[in-house]
Amino acid sequence: MNRKYRKTVVAGNWKMNKTVSETRAFAEELKNSLPRSKRCSIILCVPFVNITSAIKVLKDSRIAVAAQNVHWESHGAYTGEVSAAMLADLGVKYVLIGHSERRQYFNETDTFVNKKIRAALQAGLRPILCVGETLEQRELDVTSELIAYQIKSALSGISAEEMRHIIIAYEPVWAIGTGKTATPEQAGEVCGTIRAVLRKLYGARVARATTIQYGGSMNPKNASTLLAQPDVDGGLIGSASLELSDFLQIIYAANEE
Ligand code: PEP
């Protein structure tokens, strides 16, 4: 982390977990258990149907609510989809875009990811752009090229000014939900590569100011060492964000480092 230049952000991605009543109870306890000092920002990425309840409970707290997906059109005949304007109207602040599960199970391509980022920004939402390589790609030694390609495609047409509103999450696909975590060095190296790509695209100031999270089996045991990497500015946490005590321990670790 480098708090001098950018925000540290811990986000929990609940995926398709928790009912409305479970959301209320969790959010209530979370907001009452946070560290006093505000050295890291906190986001909860909840299922669409839990957004209203989460926002209500977290209204006067410093925890922001995020959606896990968004459609790229503002309205129309897209059965089952939700637009960025609808999310913004509810009080949603952030939205996950390009999570590997969306890419893998819902055929989300880099082109769709780019369209979603534009739509989110247009509606005033802050995208959390997820990128990451598969195990096969890592073994073929194409991680850097692949990540650079994902970043460039996702950010095509996005201005330096708009970049101020974007968080990037590096999530190696082989580490998501598998219990296999990237080593701190691997996480730090790829987050550094992402920052170098941003430097080329937008210049040193934007690159320095962009929050880049690591995600992939982050837990209370490994959080501190991952977060100690200078280019890792927080975490995107799946499984460990479902357990209040685990999530809190990671928040406390991010607050301390
Ligand atoms: C995620 O879903 O973004 C994630 C990182 O999951 P997990 O922490 O369970 O690997």
Answer yes or no: is the C-beta of 237 below 6 A from any ligand 1 atom.
Answer: yes
Interval between CA 224 and ligand 1 midpoint (Å): 17
Distant-in-sequence, close-in-space partners of 156: CB < 8 Å, separation ≥ 6? 114
Ligand 1 contacts CB of residue 215 (under 6 A): yes
Residue 132 CB contacts under 8 Å (≥ 6 apart), including other chains: 100, 147, 150, 170, 171, 172, 173, 175, 176, 215, 216
The secondary element (H helix, E strand) that includes residue 129 is strand 126-131
Q: Decide: 132 in ligand 1 pocket, CB within 6 A.
A: no
Check residue 256 and give its pLDDT: 85
H helices of the chain, in order, are: 20-31, 51-58, 84-90, 100-105, 110-122, 135-139, 143-154, 160-163, 184-202, 204-209, 223-227, 244-256
CATH class of 9-254: alpha beta
User: Is ligand 1 within 6 A of the CB of residue 172?
Assistant: no
Asked if 227 contacts 182 with a C-beta cutoff of 8 angstroms, the reply is no
What residue spans of 15-127 are helical by DSSP H?
A: 20-31, 51-58, 84-90, 100-105, 110-122
Q: For residue 2, what pLDDT is reported?
A: 83
**Catalytically annotated residues:** 99, 171
How many CB atoms are closer than 10 A to CB 155? 23
**Ligand 1 centroid from CA 134, angstroms:** 14
* Nearest-angstrom CA–CA distance, 109 and 153: 10
Distance 77 CA to ligand 1 centre (A): 32
Angle at 104 (CA atoms; ends 98, 107), nearest 5 degrees: 75
Nearest atom of ligand 1 to the alpha carbon of 179: 10
Question: 91: CA distance to ligand 1 center in Å?
Answer: 24
**Exposed, middle or buried, 163 (CB in 10 Å: 0-12/13-18/19+)?**
buried
Report mean pLDDT in 10-residue bins for the chain, 257 residues: 90 98 98 91 98 97 97 97 98 98 96 98 98 96 97 98 98 92 95 98 97 97 97 97 98 89
Q: What pLDDT was estimated at residue 37?
A: 83
- Comparing CA positions, the residue from 121, 138, 112 lying closest to residue 87 is 121
How far apart CA 66 and CA 172 sit, in angstroms, is: 21
pLDDT reported for residue 1 = 80
Q: Compute the distance between CA of residue 131 and CA of residue 170 in angstroms, rounded to an integer.
A: 5
The β-bridge partners of 115 are none
- Ligand 1 near 235 CB (within 6 A): no
At 120 the pLDDT is 98
pTM for this prediction: 0.96
**Plot region of 183 (φ>0 → left; ψ -120 to 50 → alpha; else → beta):** beta
Beta bridge partners of 130: 169
Name the residue ranges covered by the structural domains of the chain: 9-254
